[in-house]
Structure 1
Amino acid sequence: MADPATKTTGFSSEDSKQDWLQSSVELEKAAASHATESETDDAQMAREVEEFEDRPQRNEAAEEEYLVQEAYEVAVKVLSTHDEPELQALTFRTFFLGLGFSAFGAVLAQIYYFKPQTLGVSSLFLLILSYWFGNLMALLPSKGIWRFVNPGPFNLKEHVAIIIMSSTAATSATAIQVISVQDLYYNNTLNPGLAIFTLIGSQLLGYGYAGLLQDLLVRPTKCFWPSTISTANLFQALHYDNQMTSKRVRLFWTVFLVMFVWEIIPQWIFPLLTGVTIFCLANNHSPVFRNIFGGASNNEGMGLLAWCFDWNLIGSGCLFSPLWLQINQDIGIFLTYILMASVYYGNLWRAKDFPFMSQAIFAADGSQYNQTALLTNGKFDPVKYEQLGPAFFSATNALYFMTSNLSLGATFTHVFFWNWRDIKPFLKTFNPWNMEEFVVHDAHYEKMKVYKAIPRWWYFVLLAGAYAIAQSTNYEGQSGLPWWALTILLLISLTLSLLFAILAATIGFSEFTTSANGFYQMIVSYLVPGNPIANMYGALYGQHPQGQCIAMLQDLKLGQYTKLPPRVTFTMQIFGTVVGAVLNYVMMVSIINANRAALLSISGTRLWSGQNAQSFNTNGISWGGLGPQMFGAQGVYHMVPICLAIGVFLPLPFIAAWYIWPKAGFENFSTPIILQYSCVLSVGVNTQVNAGMVIGIFSQWWVRTRYPRWFTKYNYIVAAALDGGTQVISFILNFAVFGASGTPHPFPEWWGNDLNLSADRCLAPAN
């Protein structure tokens, strides 16, 4: 019987360092068809690409060369290992465009945070814009003094460095939520230096984590980070393929333009296409039909059997996520339909007294809980609580907290059982002065050996500095979070970063980075009860470094795929963090000072809304102020924390079944993923779920197995084109017609755009 540690969720695992070398031989052979060790000049690369594009259709035996048997093989069968070490990455053009797009992204992200419609700044959008601007700058004169401005053709390494820097900056950091809530609701305005260092310190903690984990989670082929494949493939297509004759590039721009035009229809002209459900079209007066079959509006319903034609909602995850990840997600979604309907219509936790889907907190009579009346001097007041009475969640929201904790507990057992042999040699060779002791053979990493690695002690210094910044800003910011509680949270965050990053690296599952807030708020509610501000700081220093760690590891892998020197990746991340922190803060202060009344009002205005700050404050009060009352031994939701312990044991049935029937495939089932998705439809828009399921199975099973050559050449470039065209037009529509820059301009009302009904014609959810 095989050792259990030689299995992972759908992938093989090695027994020793030597096995890493042996198991990579075939992958190295596969990569050889895309690049050779000796070919580095442009003419040789062009011949390689031409041969790859014009290769005639092979017989069935030859098709095996392209067939992706194990998910991680896409790293060498889809991506070229070609490198040109002489290309300059750090040029004037890199810093000029990097700083420009970092500033653009950071400002835009902060504006979006305070808008009624919250959007993110897409890295694909920045990738395409920077490609156009980089090539425009390459048209400038390149002789004499102009050589400094234009050193030659815009190259791959400049482009990747720009995107790593700008995408790092183009977010509204979690610390902004804490700072803005303190300003708006607690009359505590942090001074600029303290606020900016809080932003920087909370992010650098995650970078320190990433540096300690990169040997395990970046270098090996098995850790292939699925979400980076389509991005790396697009970089290589744009810079390595012949722009006039390459089928991949022509396909990219064709699909890009089609999506650019098409997305105007579902997003603006014909919004019914965002969620077509025949049940609601037949009966738009039934709350049961709305709850079960609706889902085109936020918090409307579960979207059972609905279909979506809006790629902005579907996204390319179904095209690049490995098959078994999607199957586990689909199992969880099927459980969602059963569990959410059972909890609500079974009237568990007085479910029918509250909305079917909501993230608000309610009083016993069904009205929203008066949270601000609960506090005295910013802290829980038991006398006022007696007057207000107990608080309640919607039943589906409480179920989501439970399944998230079940999933979190299951992650410990699952990862340590199936991945222990991967983790063990890393821990044994954890020498802070020598990263090379953990030897990994990978076709892409072998090419990276020509560049200077980042000494691990750099990350230790970075982590120590970030810890000092966190403790000092935490104290000076009057967070109420003791130093020992912050230290405990950071240790938990580092541990969970390892576990969740393994899942993100091997199967592309990174949803824990967005769902971890509730877990950390629950922990802080027990460490520091009755203090909402301390609770928000606890969520900041727990969840944010964890998310930043995974983002940094992903960038390091993208750098490995595109052969960007590691020290350049590190530099771009730090620059992006500093630029983003400063501009995030400047824009936040400007917007709050000019629109304080609108941000504090429940409805906001058509231009500005404090909904994100309000939601973060609500969570802080509910967990920080009411945690023991709601989740304690006598609380209505006392099972929520207990689910953490229960979850630890839930992978055991699959493990036992694998021992009994080792060839039956039980190692492919991931309990953490199934549980995480078993109440995933309790929030947001849900009509895209069914379309994503079908497209994912079609791409990752039918196309991958029946047409492996087409899959390896085009699947990931199509994914990038679908997202790219969608995100560029979405950005334009947001400013042109959706009101981000001023007055909104809705499309004239007609049957497919009935402004009085929800997009899918279901009964509108109750307010």
Structure 2
Amino acid sequence: MWWPSNLVQVSLFRALHEKEKRPKRGTTLTQFFLLAMICSFAYYVVPGYLLLMLTSFSWLCWFDSKSLFLHQLGSGMNGLGLGAFGIDWTTISSYLGSPLASPWFATANIAVGFVLVMYVMTPLTYWLNVYGAKKFPIYSSALFMSNGQRYNISSIVDSNFHLDRGVYRTTGPVNLSTFFAMTYGLGFATLSATIVHVFLFNGRELWNQSRSAFGGKRKIDIHTKLMRAYKQVPTWWFILILVLNIGLSIFSCQYYNVSLQLPWWGVLLACVIAFFFTLPIGIIAATTNQAPGLNIITEYIIGYAYPERPVANMCFKVYGYISMTQALTFVSDFKLGHYMKIPPRTMFMAQIVGTIIAVFVYIATAWWLMGSIQDLCDTNLLPENSPWTCPMDRVFFDASVIWGLVGPRRIFGNLGEYGAVNWFFFGGAIAPLVVWSAHKMFPKQSWIGLIHMPVLLGATSMMPPASAVNFTSWLICGFVFGFVVFRYKTEWWKRYNYILSGGLDAGTAFMTILIFLTLGSKGIDWWGNNTDGCPLASCPSAKGVMIHGCPIF
């Protein structure tokens, strides 16, 4: 199987390293890559510094600056994003990756899932006031009290960074926006759908491949034959690194147990979860370029097994979820090397050295940012257009409170009000079975087999921190490039599609660094840098709820 995102890497590798005959008409791959990169580099100064509103063009809010309803509908950042779009590559590719590298059927599944969640389920649950939805914003990852105010998390944490049960009983339960609660439910459904989908649609293939890997007859393709010219990476290298890292992880958790909270058995359990889910999620990623995450199930398991310890919950998620993600990245890189005939040992050492260097670079960068950026990640103190709001880190923190500090039992279990959300596990398991049955009953209807329930149900798994404008822009770009251009300029598209994606990524990245180093992190102070223009979108609509800057009903 092949990761679609690998096609971008292969195309760039060939463009930059292989000799290519100049075509009679048109440009070479290298010339096209440089042209795309330069254009992207030059353009990004506009949405990245001069005109930030291009990152979320929410025109619907302009019709009435005092209408909460319009702002909820039109805001691309804090609302449903109806009609909102961004003319900015970072808006398009930040969370879902490049739409040019996504297969068209996967894009269609994401579109269906997004529309159902954002424009059907969310409005229905909100305006029907499910779980008191109107007391909170229509779209938010924040945690709230029963009266609609933001929850003061520090008030329910004791000196040992555990839950203070007495204060929590007095303050009241943590409440989620209905959209946030539904997102977790869809995460449950995606996980069960992934297991069932892979079993039904790929079970026989997995069985045959497993038999061939352990001594059965194995079909050797031309790439494998050519790669036999190089020395392979010994198995004991991988085992040594695995044992060493698990040992160091257990040592860290035991030695710094007061700070990290996670016991030794938590590390081993996280490794087991990562090992079990790497194959099925890898299959989904290889065929659709969309990988369901393990973040929710890891949080769920350790939240029940070791409750009221937020740091332990975060560590467990890192060892379980991030380990699986890095494993797939590692395999993806080796697949790239396999097809590009890069010696396996060279690829292996490049990954190891790169990983070691990256550790020090990440730590130094984080240390520098925390020391030099005032009010880093604090949205209450940062200016409106600050780039240092850390949306992914804030969601990570909120998740540690939900699953770690308070615990799933007090939110999704018998002590919480969101227990019905657990039914999503059952719905996710049934959905692929329905598709598989329909596919077997109507084999001539090939489109049925393209309904991919793990991708469809997990379409909005990145929301939050992703917002509606990220999805609408990604889908528009994906459909335009993936359908219109592919249909009418097939040969051109096959030649230049992935080069274009790489050029856009590279140009945007270089300009982002240049803007930060030369112009600073804050754009020009004028109306064009009002990124959304929908200030009321994050306001509640319930009667009697008083929030600063919001209308009172």
Structure 1, unmatched stretches of 5+, are: 1-222
> Deviation digits for residues 204-233 of structure 1, max 9, x if unmatched?
xxxxxxxxxxxxxxxxxxx11100112210
For 1:260, the equivalent position in structure 2 comes to 41
For 1:381, the equivalent position in structure 2 comes to 164
Do the aligned partners of 1:758 and 1:764 also contact (CA within 8 Å) in 2? no
For 2:511, the equivalent position in structure 1 comes to 729
For 2:497, the equivalent position in structure 1 comes to 715
Do the aligned partners of 1:452 and 1:566 also contact (CA within 8 Å) in 2? yes
- Pair 1:567-2:345 in alignment: yes
By how many angstroms is 1:326 displaced?
Answer: 0.7
Cα gap change, 1:325/1:438 in structure 2, threshold over 3 Å: closer, same or farther? Answer: farther
By how many angstroms is 1:696 displaced?
Answer: 2.1
Cα gap change, 1:282/1:617 in structure 2, threshold over 3 Å: closer, same or farther? Answer: closer
Cα gap change, 1:403/1:364 in structure 2, threshold over 3 Å: closer, same or farther? Answer: same
Do the aligned partners of 1:230 and 1:720 also contact (CA within 8 Å) in 2? yes
Q: Of 136, 139, 161, which residue of structure 2 is paired with 1:357?
A: 139
For 2:179, the equivalent position in structure 1 comes to 396
CA distance in 2: counterparts of 1:584 and 1:256, whole angstroms: 26
Structure 2, unmatched stretches of 5+, are: 540-547, 549-553
By how many angstroms is 1:475 displaced?
Answer: 1.1
Query: Please, what TM-score do these two structures have when normalized by structure 1?
Result: 0.64
- Pair 1:644-2:414 in alignment: no
Do the aligned partners of 1:371 and 1:618 also contact (CA within 8 Å) in 2? no
For 1:460, the equivalent position in structure 2 comes to 239
Cα gap change, 1:251/1:601 in structure 2, threshold over 3 Å: closer, same or farther? Answer: closer
Alignment root-mean-square deviation, CA? 2.8
By how many angstroms is 1:279 displaced?
Answer: 2.1
Give the counterpart letter for 1:403 in structure 2.
Answer: L
Q: Which structure: larger Rg?
A: 1
Cα gap change, 1:731/1:538 in structure 2, threshold over 3 Å: closer, same or farther? Answer: same
For 2:480, the equivalent position in structure 1 comes to 698
For 1:279, the equivalent position in structure 2 comes to 60
By how many angstroms is 1:535 displaced?
Answer: 1.3
Do the aligned partners of 2:56 and 2:84 also contact (CA within 8 Å) in 1? yes
Aligned residues: 525
CA distance in 2: counterparts of 1:507 and 1:383, whole angstroms: 48
* Highest RCO, 1 vs 2 (Cα 8 Å, sep ≥ 6): 2
Give the counterpart letter for 1:238 in structure 2.
Answer: L
Do the aligned partners of 1:403 and 1:679 also contact (CA within 8 Å) in 2? yes
CA distance in 1: counterparts of 2:378 and 2:41, whole angstroms: 36
Do the aligned partners of 1:595 and 1:608 also contact (CA within 8 Å) in 2? no
> Deviation digits for residues 428-469 of structure 1, max 9, x if unmatched?
3454xx8xx673444444432211122334323322222222
By how many angstroms is 1:678 displaced?
Answer: 5.1
Work out the percentage of aligned pairs sharing the same amino acid.
Answer: 25
Matches within 5 A, 1:21-420: 223-242=1-20, 246-295=27-76, 297=77, 300-315=78-93, 317-336=98-117, 337-376=119-158, 377-420=160-203
For 1:469, the equivalent position in structure 2 comes to 248
CA distance in 1: counterparts of 2:324 and 2:139, whole angstroms: 28
Cα gap change, 1:341/1:438 in structure 2, threshold over 3 Å: closer, same or farther? Answer: farther
CA distance in 1: counterparts of 2:324 and 2:99, whole angstroms: 24
By how many angstroms is 1:599 displaced?
Answer: 5.4
Cα gap change, 1:290/1:652 in structure 2, threshold over 3 Å: closer, same or farther? Answer: same
Which secondary structure does the structure 1 equivalent of 2:411 belong to? helix
- Pair 1:491-2:264 in alignment: no
Give the counterpart letter for 2:314 in structure 1.
Answer: M
> Deviation digits for residues 209-267 of structure 1, max 9, x if unmatched?
xxxxxxxxxxxxxx111001122101211222459775322222222222222222223
By how many angstroms is 1:570 displaced?
Answer: 1.1
Q: Of 248, 261, 282, which residue of structure 2 is paired with 1:501?
A: 282
> Deviation digits for residues 659-687 of structure 1, max 9, x if unmatched?
21012121111111111115755543432
Which secondary structure does the structure 2 equivalent of 1:631 belong to? coil
For 1:108, the equivalent position in structure 2 comes to none
For 2:545, the equivalent position in structure 1 comes to none
Cα gap change, 1:682/1:375 in structure 2, threshold over 3 Å: closer, same or farther? Answer: closer
Cα gap change, 1:484/1:599 in structure 2, threshold over 3 Å: closer, same or farther? Answer: same
Cα gap change, 1:728/1:526 in structure 2, threshold over 3 Å: closer, same or farther? Answer: same
Q: Of 328, 332, 335, which residue of structure 2 is paired with 1:554?
A: 332
By how many angstroms is 1:764 displaced?
Answer: 5.6
Give the counterpart letter for 1:382 in structure 2.
Answer: R
Do the aligned partners of 2:395 and 2:464 also contact (CA within 8 Å) in 1? no
Cα gap change, 1:364/1:650 in structure 2, threshold over 3 Å: closer, same or farther? Answer: same
Give the counterpart letter for 1:727 in structure 2.
Answer: A
